[in-house]
Structure 1
Amino acid sequence: MTNLYPVFVLLCIMAGLCLPHRLLQAQNPPAANANISGYVKDSETAETLVGATIYIKGTEQGTTTNLYGYYALKVPRSDVFITLVVSYLGYETAEITVIPAQDKVLSIRLHPQQQLLQEVVITDDAVKQRLESAQMGMQKINSQSIKTIPVMFGEADVMKVVQLTAGVQTGSEGSSGIYVRGGGYDQNLILLDEATVYNPEHLFGFFSTFNSDIVKNLDIYKSDFPAQYGGRLSSVLDIQTRDGNMKKFGMQGGIGLIASRLTLEGPLVKDRASFILSGRRTYVDIFTPLINRALPDENQMPDYYFYDLNAKLNYIVSDKDRLFVSGYFGRDKLYFKFNPDESDNTSYSLRWGNLTGSVRWNHVYNPSLFSNTTFIASRFNYRDLFNFDDFFEFTSSTETYTFSVKQDYDLYASDAHRLKFGVHFTHHLIRPVDFSAGVTSPDTLYQSSNVKEQQRYEGQEAALYAAHTWKLTRRFTLKSGLRLSGFATAGNKQYGNLEPRIALNYLVTDQLSVKAGYSRMAQYLHQVKFINLSFLDPWFPSNQYVRPQTADQISAGFTASLFNGQVSLTNEYYYKWLHHQLDYRNGANFLFIDENYHQRLTVGRGWSYGAEWQLEKTKGNLTGWMAYTLSWAKRRFPDLNNGKPFPFTFDRRHVLIAVLQYRLPRNWTVSANFTYRTGEAIDLAVGRFFIYGINFGDPQVVPQYADQNSFRMPAYHRLDAGFIKQFTSKKRLQSELAVSFYNLYSRRNAFFIYYEDVKDKENRTVTYRARQASLFPIIPSVSYNFKW
């Protein structure tokens, strides 16, 4: 695409501006059809419901709401009543009678089922919808029951729920990071109200940045990616936040062992405008100074805390226009003073966090054409500072900025044809390294010697896409898409990729469907991990030396409805090819990125394959799911492991997960989840040799390694359990007490393995012994949650 990138961007802009007008001219529906369209909402809050099912009773004709709760149906004009059946998990099914004599705008309000606190639970909506959909490798989490899942420190975490699904591997103990179907950490596209979140972790990965009280809906895609998504290879996590109550003011929150949270929401103009504001903060830093002063002779504890702030405004401008303004700000702060003596100010501080903002405008051109225009800004940065007794300082930092404009359209052409298309443009600004060092004291007798180094990279990414869902027959559905993406960076280097996607679904019986799909993805930003702290590994763009990563994935499987729709079974098989993968060369300096950074990298390829089974029950007092993943993941680089293939670090052969919740009388709920997984692949020394200097003093001991990642950590397994007591109130106050036990049988899972010297009686090292370090024994926790 060299020298064609500006033309490509111009074509994208023209397509985004002109195509809707062409469609408006073509969308004069024949007089034989009437359009029924509108939004599906919560009757108590007016919150739109994503993925609600609407169908005509007694027929196979139906549709689902989009990400903004909008739907459209075309029905033959008639003076005879028809009945619309509208359903959504956690809500009472509604039947609405209409006469389709003419076009009709119909906003549908569903009543929540009688429960106490609305929480978050995994589901795929109705089993029927899953059977008929051609979408593969997709899981939906909507706001209805996550707090029943026991978690560490009692802090509900959406990302921990994602880790409990088939095909998703976790990092180290307690980490919120994910590795999907053999992909890397940087190959996950994480969106919050359409804004990219570059670092979704707090407390070095033990908590995610997403406050569960404000999450409305989360879709995770592991394969068969919809054409509107691009820029990453392995998964997409699309998170939407709640819009705020348009009916009445309310608040909810919780008090836990290490963090508390509070959410306020309500109408600015009843039934027309609303707001929601949510905050969360830990308070460990309040107690650590007290502990340090009480135990001055012990190892000092660092001060640490994190906080999150979410805000959103929602305004219905007219029957055809709606405006959303949302933002997120989160920050981690750590401070450690090496010597408690007040005369010595040597210290270390570290800060990192995300800032996102988005403005979205929904417009309904006509009942068949829905559009969304989005303006997005996102930033991630970290900064650390070494202060050597107010005499000398060393500072390093990194920043990643993204500015995007998106124009997306949903076209409900007919009951058999549904199209989605649009154009995206993104500007990337990355400062992967910014460090300085020098003397800070003005009274020093030494000559000041300051060093400063800065790097700055920019890139422009654009994409034009179209997707088509075609219901050929009652039993056969074809979903196809094409994404044309391009990237331009410094040095007048441009890249382009065609990214086709296709999926098929055949309904063998009313209880069984078979599916198959193929997708190709391209990634223009990269993050090569060296240590298991994602914020310390800077991002950098493709350039004249580093090509974009690409991936091809094929998948096939089936979905079955069992026991009259009470249980669903999903089985998928996949094979993924990863091209232009990046890793560090042996002995490379990974701390800084400069103009020669590409020389420290090696380029190779990867592949992964496996099978996933997931059995779910979403109805009745006993609910939950069981998931099993059998998988292989490999890498091959010409400069690593003598050019031979080796297991990817998170190549785990077996992963077994069970999550169960049981609702007891008198508002009690008990829950448990069990995880078993093969240990991750690691390097361990198989021997050592000695190198003596010319005076034969103490030798230098050099470890000798076998093939890369040829050893395994011990298998990981853990059982968590908990219970919740919900309290009723005649007033609006609802509350619950949640008690959970992380690692119930106190399994000492390996966090890392190290070697210790074994010495003889004369204190000489005679051999080495491998030992494992573990993090968490059993951790009980308690939290109080309320909603008013």
Structure 2
Amino acid sequence: MKKIISLIIFVLVALTTVAQQKHSIKGIVIDKGKREPISFASIGINGTGQGAVTDSVGKFNIQNVVPGIYRLQISAVGYNTVLTPEYIISTKDLFITVELEESVTQLGEVSVTASMFRRNPESPVGLRLIGLQEIEKSPGANRDISRIVQNYAGVGYSPVGYRNDLIVRGGGPSENRFYMDGVEIPNINHFSTQGASGGPVGIINADLIREVSFYTGAFPASKGNALSSVLDFKLRDGNMEKNSMKATLGASEFSLTSNGKLSKKTTYLASVRQSYLQFLFKALGLPFLPTYTDAQFKTKTRLSQHNEITFLGLTGIDNMKLNTNLTGEKAEYILSYLPTVKQETFTLGSVYKHYAGAHIQTVVLSHSYLNNHLTKYLRNDESSPDNLTLKYGSLEQETKLRVENVSTFGAVKVSFGANLDHTQYSNNTFQKAYTDQSKTYKYHTFLDMLRWGFFGTMNYESPDERMTVSLGVRGDACNYTSQMNKLNNQLSPRLSLSYQIIGDVYFSGNVGRYYQLPAYTALGYKDNNGIYVNKNLGYITVDQYSAGLTYKHSENLQITAEGFYKKYDNIPFSINDNIPLADKGADYGVVGNEELTPTAQGRSYGIELMAKWIIVKKLNLSSALTLFKSEYRKNEISPYIASSWDNKYIFNLGGTYNFEKNWSFGAKISSIGGAPYTPYDVEKSSLVTAWDAQGRAYYDYSEYNTERLSAYTRIDLRVDKTFYIKKYMLGFYIDLQNITGSQIKQADALMSTGVIENPSAPANQQRYKMKYISQNSGTVIPTLGITFEF
């Protein structure tokens, strides 16, 4: 053992002393609309002093660049200065294309420093940009975007379980939308809850991401059907110079990624991952064992000077088994109700762009598929078909077409477009349930639906860049009912503005109305007679108001204070449970497959404080505090009560510091208030027929969310070390989640003992003897990650 340790130390020391490789950043700078090269543009690597000037055909070459994560600043006479997203220099030279937009004010020589905190006229509030530094090295996140966004203001999470449910500004997990290079992605998590957004692990490989725009309000008019957030992923382009491969061994999977060129005009990205998450969950003593495989690709072809086309794909295959070998009351409780899950999902999309000077046209065509199967047997005993309590098979398919034109007229930018979607949803369900008596639901449904819409936005930026104004509108409709097929019934106007009131202080605000179609699981739900029972549903509505102040100190520090108010209407309300559907979706399975009525209302309001400090190649630090309230009610005459997402406060402080010789250290402290919960209905739960129907206790919804869990605080740490040896990169990281070992005390779980107290009573009156199980969760989760690139 001493010899092995000595050998490891010797190898690490030898690797550290190897001369670090240096590379070149090459590229071309072009006019975004005309697609013509820009001569004599100035290019600088932000924070390093290195730079170059483009030649007569717009090309540049910056040599002797040490590996790392960089931004480039590009400026030219007559053009707006640009600070690019982050790029990684690793084992190969980098080739990039930079697009500059003509400026209506910069006509002569300029000396402008671009800010790392970009302004967006359409979304001056509620927009956060996530770069590679955060994606690669955020403590406790393991390069999973759903966990990284939890660092930002307004984003809640559940410390109970291992899920990525996205809870934004008090809204439910079904209120979010996802885009990848303009293509809508139905979900971004493996083992996703159908009708919502969560799952235990992300499906998108971080190795392919360039940057993420995270909207918590003021959503772009071109991206509809969202009530709480939009995550817009920008993928990298393949390297036009050389091909490369990267292998990553992470917390839950092994992945291979490749990028490069297929021809002189076409680049590619490709990734495949295979999980071993089941081993981690088994080591943690969890009662479910998920495995998954996923793959991604992107190709981009420059057809001509003014035309390009991108193809991309994303697929996931999931299989969650039950760890029935576990013993103990806690495992027995979860195993009593959790189903086995099998899912297959994919999205294929193409994006065509035509550049015609001041006008840019985009056409997006995509197809998405979800095949979801859930199975549950009473006490997990498959020996008899009579034990079957749930057999659920569902298929969703969406084909989407979106066309858009963006035109620039001096200080005014106008965009408009339309979308047409075709949806097919089928479902075969067998389910035993209990309301006031035992019931068996057995039905088949097939829903064939068309959706259509339009959108338009006009943005204005004053010549002195002190003020921006954006006016937008979109309309949505579908042929589900006569009410929902009229665009004027679902018009979504919105207005945004931003003004530099004094010095480096900006006031910004947004007001808008947004609509979302209820989940297909709700729209396609039938009773045992084959009748659609939710034809009374309409589009869910939310009116959002937000305003705030932004202070920018130099170009590296930004402090924001934003207030928001969201008012919901037409929320589907569960007839069986007597609660809003918006309060569901943070568990495995399906949301929406039940009788609903569109009577519920809601509101969420609060204030967000956030600071972000960036020192190039040294420090990336952020802090966020959210104080808020989230409430729902049965109808307009009922009192408001706390929603399931009403944690009252969320606090995060974290960052990463880069040391010499490619060492980095990151830490994060997170604290969240206790969530409300509902006590159990002991009388109903103890009935043999009721318990056997779903294998878990029933809640007393007359006492809905009257209790509250305790607050939860944890600390995550991460250490990274990277070696660059000739043409190879070898990286190690250690990620320690919840290093404090913090535990959260949940409400004691009510469970059947399996012993009938009154066996001589009629079958519908027999009761199990019940017991309570203490539920505490929280442990240290260490992860060792290894990356190798060549």
Bin of the TM-score, shorter chain as denominator length: 0.7 to 0.9
Give CA-to-partner distance per residue, 1:17-67, whole Å, 9 cap, x none. Answer: xxxxxxxxxxxxxxxxxxxxxxxxx98586x9xxxxx9xxxxxxxxxxxxx
Counterpart selection for 1:268 from 239, 262, 271: 262
Change (3 A) 1:544 1:747: same
In the alignment, which residue of structure 2 is the partner of 1:316? Answer: 302
Between the aligned partners of 2:687 and 2:611, the Cα distance in structure 1 is 61
Which consecutive unaligned segments of at least 5 residues does structure 1 have? 1-41, 49-53, 55-68, 76-80, 100-104, 292-298, 341-346, 438-449, 530-539, 694-700, 759-764
| Count of equivalent residues | 656
Contact 1:171 1:178 in 2 (8 A): no
Between the aligned partners of 1:319 and 1:185, the Cα distance in structure 2 is 42
Between the aligned partners of 1:92 and 1:410, the Cα distance in structure 2 is 36
Change (3 A) 1:597 1:461: same
In the alignment, which residue of structure 2 is the partner of 1:658? Answer: 653
In the alignment, which residue of structure 1 is the partner of 2:538? Answer: 547
Matches within 5 A, 1:15-414: 44=25, 71-72=32-33, 84=41, 96=53, 114-116=66-68, 126-127=115-116, 129-130=118-119, 135-151=124-140, 155-173=142-160, 174-202=162-190, 205-270=199-264, 272-284=265-277, 304-336=290-322, 349-365=340-356, 367-385=357-375, 388-389=382-383, 395-414=391-410
State the 1:707 CA deviation.
4.0
Contact 1:489 1:542 in 2 (8 A): no
Between the aligned partners of 1:495 and 1:470, the Cα distance in structure 2 is 30
Contact 2:269 2:299 in 1 (8 A): yes
In the alignment, which residue of structure 2 is the partner of 1:634? Answer: 631
Contact 1:249 1:265 in 2 (8 A): yes
* Aligned residue identity for 2:126: G
3-state SS of 2:206 partner? coil
Change (3 A) 1:587 1:159: closer
Contact 1:198 1:354 in 2 (8 A): no
State the 1:685 CA deviation.
5.4
Contact 1:718 1:744 in 2 (8 A): yes
Contact 1:646 1:707 in 2 (8 A): no
Contact 1:132 1:505 in 2 (8 A): yes
Between the aligned partners of 2:685 and 2:711, the Cα distance in structure 1 is 33
Between the aligned partners of 1:494 and 1:329, the Cα distance in structure 2 is 32
In the alignment, which residue of structure 1 is the partner of 2:679? Answer: 684
Compute the TM-score of the two structures, normalised by the length of structure 1.
Answer: 0.73
In the alignment, which residue of structure 1 is the partner of 2:775? Answer: 773
Between the aligned partners of 2:306 and 2:712, the Cα distance in structure 1 is 53
Say whether 1:733 aligns with 2:733.
no
State the 1:98 CA deviation.
9.4
Q: CA RMSD in A?
A: 4.5
* Aligned residue identity for 1:170: Y
Change (3 A) 1:274 1:389: same
Compute the TM-score of the two structures, normalised by the length of structure 2.
Answer: 0.73
Counterpart selection for 2:719 from 716, 723, 734: 723
Change (3 A) 1:656 1:456: same
Contact 1:195 1:378 in 2 (8 A): no
State the 1:674 CA deviation.
0.9
3-state SS of 2:261 partner? strand
* Aligned residue identity for 1:547: G
3-state SS of 1:146 partner? helix
Change (3 A) 1:88 1:235: farther
What is the aligned-residue identity percentage?
19
Contact 1:660 1:671 in 2 (8 A): yes
In the alignment, which residue of structure 2 is the partner of 1:517? Answer: 510
State the 1:234 CA deviation.
1.4
Between the aligned partners of 1:185 and 1:129, the Cα distance in structure 2 is 28
In the alignment, which residue of structure 2 is the partner of 1:610? Answer: 606
* Aligned residue identity for 1:634: E
Change (3 A) 1:373 1:707: same
Say whether 1:710 aligns with 2:706.
yes
Contact 2:222 2:455 in 1 (8 A): yes
State the 1:754 CA deviation.
2.5
Counterpart selection for 1:624 from 599, 621, 624: 621
State the 1:395 CA deviation.
3.4
Change (3 A) 1:348 1:167: closer
3-state SS of 1:735 partner? strand
Change (3 A) 1:386 1:109: farther
Change (3 A) 1:363 1:691: closer
Give CA-to-partner distance per residue, 1:581-616, whole Å, 9 cap, x none. Answer: 12313447999999x977444621111111111100
State the 1:511 CA deviation.
1.4
Contact 1:85 1:93 in 2 (8 A): no
Counterpart selection for 1:455 from 441, 445, 456: 445
3-state SS of 1:489 partner? coil
Change (3 A) 1:217 1:170: same
Between the aligned partners of 2:495 and 2:184, the Cα distance in structure 1 is 25
Which consecutive unaligned segments of at least 5 residues does structure 2 have? 1-22, 72-84, 88-112, 193-198, 327-337, 433-439, 523-530, 582-587, 689-696, 754-766
State the 1:491 CA deviation.
6.8
Between the aligned partners of 2:685 and 2:734, the Cα distance in structure 1 is 54
Change (3 A) 1:318 1:164: same
State the 1:456 CA deviation.
1.4
* Aligned residue identity for 2:318: D
Give CA-to-partner distance per residue, 1:82-133, whole Å, 9 cap, x none. Answer: 975567879988675799xxxxx957788896444789989x9824633988
3-state SS of 1:455 partner? strand
Contact 1:199 1:353 in 2 (8 A): no
Contact 1:486 1:494 in 2 (8 A): yes
3-state SS of 1:333 partner? strand
In the alignment, which residue of structure 1 is the partner of 2:437? Answer: none
3-state SS of 2:147 partner? helix
Contact 1:304 1:333 in 2 (8 A): yes
In the alignment, which residue of structure 1 is the partner of 2:79? Answer: none
In the alignment, which residue of structure 1 is the partner of 2:499? Answer: 506
Give CA-to-partner distance per residue, 1:321-362, whole Å, 9 cap, x none. Answer: 11111111112112459699xxxxxx9852113210101111
Between the aligned partners of 1:178 and 1:308, the Cα distance in structure 2 is 21
Matches within 5 A, 1:573-584: 573-584=563-574
Between the aligned partners of 1:325 and 1:242, the Cα distance in structure 2 is 13
Contact 2:129 2:213 in 1 (8 A): yes
